[in-house]
Amino acid sequence: MPALDLTDPVALGGAGDRNAARGQSVSTRLLFLIVGIANATWAPLVPLVQDRAGLDAAGLGLLLLTFGIGSILAMPSAGAAASRLGFRPVLLAGTLAIGLALPVLAVGDGLVPLTLALVLFGAGMGAVDCVMNLQAVVVERASGRPMMSGFHGLYSLGCILGALIASGLLAAGLGAGWSVLLLVAGIAALFAAAWPGILPAERAGGSGGPAFARPRGVVLVLGLLCFVVFLTEGSALDWSAVFLIQQRGLDPAWAALGYAAFSVTMTAGRLAGDRVVARLGRRPVVVFGGLLAAAGLALSVLVPAWEAALAGYALVGAGCANIVPVLFTAAGRQTAMPARVAVPAVTTLGYAGVLAGPALIGFAAQALGLSAALLLVAALLLAVAAAGRSLPV
């Protein structure tokens, strides 16, 4: 087992105790599950918010940007606060922000309160996302075995679980307000269960590097690779249905099958990912994953059949599944920057891919056509595969 660096401001307390280590692992999984459920809780509220705010499509797009602004602003400060105060206060503040914002988004009226709530929701999600990945890096390092894919698999599972519960509650006629309150209560219960295993990181008193730092060297490379993979995930979410309808003539009622195929294989790939990483190694997972995802997009675009497109999106999900977990592990293990700065930097660049990616694909589609734009994404995935050969693991 590799030695744990206790000089790191993100330091484990009692990592050698098996019961403590098991509790920390369970806690980390619950944190990833919480973020997935919260993300899925927000999804069905989007059209309701658009209606109550009286927004057209362009106005809704601008409103949704405020979520990303809140997240990107919160991530670097969350990493700095975690090193000074410990993980628990930052995760508690982030979860409280999520729990306060979601009910407002469910029943609030007027553009100003909805905008403020969405910024708060984005900040809470960004803070929890950042610190849970910091905890995941430390827990995995202390265990001496691959765990990151399984952690991220719980996020994907949370998205599916949250979507099913939210849809069921709304279908039962509870209304958005009561449905969201029940889901927030579930999030609170999961957070309470996670609390004992949240790492009591030592107070660093500002040592160990600046709170905000421009990513450099290997951290910048890891962040750019995350940007590409998150851009690919965003393209599946935002453009797969458009592609299937416009390019393959699929009935709109079935157009969500592309993202469903992507989500199923990504979730399954992550839940099995720790065993895959342990058997193949981290570099091959990035190389083969990038090649598989690129081949999936090429299959979707180049074979003129909707069945091929669904198979292609399934390959994209399987290929992308474990790349980001490996990149986060690498961010925690590199020595160019402290982990508490590097992990938020990589997370922030990844989120930038989610936010800017769909728009960039839209601009490319306008100029070159949607098929050509998706092939450009495939080319970027080939670059990820090439970079994986020299990944610092």
Give the pLDDT confidence of 148-182 residue by residue, as tens digits.
Answer: 999 999 998 988 888 888 888 888 888 889 999 99
Confidence at residue 210, expressed as pLDDT on a 0 to 100 scale: 53
pLDDT band at residue 8, thresholds of 50, 70 and 90? very low
Do 75 and 130 touch, CB atoms closer than 8 A? yes
Note the helical H segments in 108-255.
111-143, 148-171, 175-194, 217-246
- Least Cα distance to 135 among 103, 88, 175, 100 occurs for 88
Q: What is the chain's Cα-based Rg?
A: 20
* Rounded average pLDDT over 212-238: 85
Distance separating alpha carbons of residues 200 and 203, to the nearest angstrom: 9
Confidence at residue 269, expressed as pLDDT on a 0 to 100 scale: 93
Confidence at residue 2, expressed as pLDDT on a 0 to 100 scale: 37
Which of 8-12, 115-119, 154-158, 243-247 is predicted least confidently? 8-12
230, 233, 234, 236: CA torsion to nearest 10:
160
Confidence at residue 240, expressed as pLDDT on a 0 to 100 scale: 84
* Rounded average pLDDT over 332-351: 84
* Rounded average pLDDT over 342-368: 84
217-246 vs 282-302: helix axis angle to the nearest 10?
Answer: 30
Confidence at residue 227, expressed as pLDDT on a 0 to 100 scale: 94
In this predicted model, which residue has the larger pLDDT, 373 or 362? 373
* Rounded average pLDDT over 40-57: 82
In this predicted model, which residue has the larger pLDDT, 3 or 263? 263
Residue 178's alpha-carbon distances to 72, 161, 171, 341, in angstroms, are 30, 18, 12, 39
Confidence at residue 50, expressed as pLDDT on a 0 to 100 scale: 83
In this predicted model, which residue has the larger pLDDT, 96 or 335? 96
Confidence at residue 216, expressed as pLDDT on a 0 to 100 scale: 77
Confidence at residue 77, expressed as pLDDT on a 0 to 100 scale: 86
Distance separating alpha carbons of residues 194 and 28, to the nearest angstrom: 7
**CB atoms inside a 10 Å sphere around CB 146:** 22
Cα-based angle 156, 159, 161 (whole degrees, multiple of 5): 110
Going 346 to 347 to 348 to 351, the CA torsion angle's sign is: positive
Confidence at residue 393, expressed as pLDDT on a 0 to 100 scale: 63
pLDDT band at residue 301, thresholds of 50, 70 and 90? very high
Which of 10-24, 68-82, 110-124 is predicted least confidently? 10-24
Confidence at residue 254, expressed as pLDDT on a 0 to 100 scale: 82
In this predicted model, which residue has the larger pLDDT, 17 or 147? 147
Distance separating alpha carbons of residues 391 and 166, to the nearest angstrom: 39
What is the chain's length?
393
Do 154 and 129 touch, CB atoms closer than 8 A? no
Q: In the block, which residue shows the tokens 């008193």?
A: 205
Tokens linked to 63 = 């409103």
CA 226 to chain centre: 10
Q: What is the mean pLDDT of the chain?
A: 86
In this predicted model, which residue has the larger pLDDT, 384 or 19? 384
Q: Report the percentage of the chain scoring pLDDT > 90.
A: 47
pLDDT band at residue 201, thresholds of 50, 70 and 90? low
* Rounded average pLDDT over 350-364: 82
Confidence at residue 284, expressed as pLDDT on a 0 to 100 scale: 95
Confidence at residue 163, expressed as pLDDT on a 0 to 100 scale: 80
Q: Report the percentage of the chain scoring pLDDT > 70.
A: 92
pLDDT band at residue 49, thresholds of 50, 70 and 90? confident
Over residues 108-119, the pLDDT tens digits come to 888 899 999 999
pLDDT > 70? residue 205: no
Tokens linked to 200 = 């009591």
* Rounded average pLDDT over 280-299: 95
Confidence at residue 4, expressed as pLDDT on a 0 to 100 scale: 35
